[in-house]
Structure 1
Amino acid sequence: MAAEDSGNAADQRSKRRRQRLTRLLAIAVILAVFGFIFPSIASYSAAWNDVSAMTAAWILALIGVTVLNLFTGWWFITTCLPGLSLPRAAAMNLSSTAVANTVPGGGAIALGVSYSMTSAWGFSTEEFTLYTLVSGLWSQFAKFGTPAVALLALSAVGRPSSQLVLATILGTGVFLAALGAVIWALHSENFMAVLGRFAQRAATKVMGWFHRSGPKDLEEAFLEFKHLAAKLIKTRGWLMSVSTLTSDLTGWFVQLACLRSVGVTAGEVSWEKSFAGYALIRLLTTIPVTPGGLGITEVGLTAYLAAGLGTGATDRIAAAILLSRALTFVVPIPIGAVNFAAWRWLRSKDGAASPGDAETERLMQAGVEGDPPKE
């Protein structure tokens, strides 16, 4: 038993080291990008001059398209979690986004924040789990499928780049494979039963390490989950698909509006090339090197869109990309932080508590201390 406990402690130390190395790598990438790589492509001061020269009309237009982008994201959430209102979807999305973009181990903690809020609103663990799985799948499907749409757009007006063709082939392959796996899993009772039995054995073994009994009847739970997922996709699959596509398009609208607002003409960057760059970078950032692709997105988009153009156009493109990232990545952070702080304060004032509150507190503590969340 002592040897087993020692092995578990060694595993935990190894996980902590890997997590710290991952964080250090992300910080190093961000510092290298914004401190060295990006300045070698464009001038920060020139980019700022382009942004500060925007007209009032363009500023209002950017505010409008940013709000639209947020709204469509909230709408997508409501399609994946039936019964959730749009205001609550906005509160949950802004709060989890603020945490994910700023707190160490943000992805897991953001999930805890969302769970805490939905459980307080009366949603069950099963409903939240289903929402998390389905919304995650649909978001990934969109990322892998978007390059194909961009390829069609570019093919209609000109010759697409070899990078886009390669990305389309890879993305479409992954998309079709994942879609096929999901369809098969939702139609196969045997597969879900086997998966449930495997999860039962794994959970029992892991909980045994901590001298606790594992969950019971996971096979039945997996089969029930399959039926719930199939029902949700059958009744709302088309709506989830439309809302996902709309959310993706409005994210690109922000980028295109930023390009035009700082003076980047259609002759320098067409809407087709802008969309292709948007699709390529979304596919690239499916590998989570930094939070939200911070640094990688800015350099990748600027380099792709400015290829073959002069210094002045490159500086304007850099200004547009930095501005669009500020509107989509930075703006939700302070709003979400205030929203989440107010929500927690009201919860503590009312003396109410939900199962998710303890989980969120544990995840936040783990993130601050540098410990990985315990499974």
Structure 2
Amino acid sequence: MKNKWLQIVLSVLSLGLAVLLVIYLPQIVRTLTGKPVSWAQIGAVFGTLGAGEIALMTALWLLSLLAYTFVLTNSLPGLNNLQGLTLNAAGSAVSNLLPFGGAVGVAVSFAMTRGWGFSNRSIVVMTLVSGIWNTLFRFVLPAVGIIALLIAGKAPNSTVAGAGWTGAISILVLCVVVAAALYWDRAAQALGRALDGLTKLLRLKIHASRAFHRLRADTATIVRTRSIGLSLAMIFFLGFQWAIMAVCMHATGAWPGPAESIAVFALSRVLTSALITPSGAGIMESGVAALLITAFGVPVTPAIATALLFGFWTYTIEIPFGGLALGAWALLRRRNGRNAGAEPPSAISKAPQ
């Protein structure tokens, strides 16, 4: 009971902090950049949005949801796209409402997939595989953002450019090593030895290689047969999300350029990992606005409007949409349960003896 009430209190505090961060976003941005702005000015930018722009954002948002269903259907063979969409929407809604909401989202996903007849093991494998691919691409994004800026010649000097290339390539190499270790036995053995050496150096009392090999054994079949589908699904999902940000930037007058938009998008996805608020709400908007203003010279009002608009399409709207999906699933489950209970025994087919 104590843990339950603690979770409730933490959730309320976390949501409250997210709301406060958004309410005081103009003041936060002024503190970070020294440039004043008011909500009236931000509202005026929103008032210039046209129906066509809103329709385009909506279409891109729906396409991003559809793209992510292929991550889930590739992680769980037998899951169809409608089920994947429902699963994604419901899990996102829970995660967006609670700090550390991923654990609750997993529980919701487990209940839904069990209701559809999937086994416990296959659900665990789906959770592991989809989590691995999300983590790998979350690491890749910053490297992509840095490389985009370097190719566009946005580094202030050769020293910064060299450091940028070193950091970006190091991140990509690390991701390639992990991906290879998940796929090939020899790479897995080499990474296992490296992990054991690192834990020994740090004097940690954990068996890192054992945990990694257990994870690999659990996910080996899906990784070897569906890694291409999983990767393409993540690329399209993130691509559509970047397109949403690009449209938001154009609509508000905050477009800084292709390379810069990729860098801002990469930062936004990294900041969603800030666990102090659900999905980094409030923190993501502050970081996006600050980067647009200080690094790319975007005027303060369009920068904040872009951050808020993008936050709406990648966070806020998922809560009511996911609530509707979860409610529809619960309603159908109850109705199917009543129908099964009302069916006469003679109509129920028996398993072959």
TM-score greater than 0.5 by the shorter chain: yes
How far the C-alpha of 1:169 sits from its partner, in A, is 6.7
* Aligned with residue 143 of structure 1, among 119, 122, 138: 138
Q: What CA distance in whole angstroms lies between the structure 1 residues aligned with 2:54 and 2:17?
A: 31
Letter in 1 for 2:152: V
Q: Tell me the matched-pair count.
A: 305
> 2:42 maps to which residue?
47
Q: Does 1:274 align with 2:261?
A: yes
Question: Among residues 278, 286, 290, which one is paired with 1:291 in the alignment?
Answer: 278
Structure 1's unaligned 5+ residue stretches are: 1-11, 192-218, 353-375
Matched letter for residue 230 of structure 1: A
1:195-210 alignment, distance < 5 Å:
none
Aligned to 1:244, which of 234, 240, 260?
234
CA distances 1:49-77 after superposition (whole Å, capped 9, x unpaired): 11121122222221221111111112222
- Equivalent residue number for residue 206 of structure 1: none
Secondary structure at the residue paired with 1:101?
Answer: helix
Give the Cα separation in 1 of the matches to 2:58 and 2:310: 11
Matched, 1:33 2:49: no
1:321 match: 307
1:133-282 superposed matches below 5 A: 133-160=128-155, 165=164, 168=168, 171-172=171-172, 175=175, 178-179=178-179, 182=182, 187=188, 226-227=216-217, 229-265=219-255, 269-282=256-269
Partner residue, 1:345: 331
Report the alpha carbon displacement of residue 304 of structure 1 after superposing the two structures with TM: 0.1
Counterparts of 1:103 and 1:296 in 2: how far apart (Å)?
15
TM-score scaled by length of structure 1: 0.71
| Residues 155 and 29 of structure 1, relative CA distance in 2, 3 Å threshold | same
CA drift at 1:339: 1.9
Between the aligned partners of 1:121 and 1:90, the Cα distance in structure 2 is 14
Return the offset for 1:31. 4.5
Aligned to 2:33: none
Q: Deviations over 1:293-328 (max 9, x none)?
A: 101100000000111677x82111211221111112
Alignment partner of 1:306: what SS?
helix
2:28·2:286 contact (CA, 8 Å) conserved in 1? no
Distance in 1 (alpha carbons) for counterparts of 2:51 and 2:100: 39
- Residues 226 and 141 of structure 1, relative CA distance in 2, 3 Å threshold: closer
Say if 1:264 and 1:316, in contact at 8 Å, map to a contact too.
Answer: yes
**Aligned-residue identity in percent:** 26
1:141 shift after superposition: 0.4
Q: Distance in 2 between matches of 1:104 and 1:157?
A: 37
Q: Which runs of 5+ in 2 are unaligned?
A: 30-36, 193-209, 339-353
Alignment-derived partner of residue 95 in structure 2: 100
Q: Distance in 2 between matches of 1:319 and 1:111?
A: 33
Which amino acid is 1:128 matched to? I
- Cα contact 1:91–1:339 (8 A) shared by 2: yes
Q: Distance in 2 between matches of 1:178 and 1:316?
A: 39
Q: CA shift at 1:126, angstroms?
A: 0.6
1:88 and 2:76 correspond: no
TM-aligned CA distance change 1:308 to 1:281, over 3 Å: closer
Residue in structure 1 matching 2:60, options 61, 65, 78: 65
RMSD (Å) for aligned C-alpha atoms: 3.3
Alignment check: 8 A CA contact 1:69 1:254 kept: no
CA distance in structure 1 between the partners assigned to 2:259 and 2:128 by the alignment: 32
- Cα deviation, 1:199-239, whole Å, max 9, x if unaligned, reads xxxxxxxxxxxxxxxxxxxx9xx96x755521211111111
Deviations 1:339-362 (A, max 9, x none): 21122122123327xxxxxxxxxx
Aligned partners of 1:114, 1:87: CA distance in 2, in Å?
14
How far apart, in 2, do the equivalents of 1:172 and 1:281 lie? Answer: 19
Larger displacement relative to structure 2 (63-72 or 29-38): 29-38
- In the alignment, structure 1 residue 112 sits paired with structure 2 residue 107: yes
Range moving further from structure 2, 176-185 or 239-248: 176-185
TM-fit CA distance, 1:27: 4.2
Q: 1:303 to 1:56 in 2, by over 3 A?
A: same
Higher relative contact order (CA 8 A, sep 6+): 1
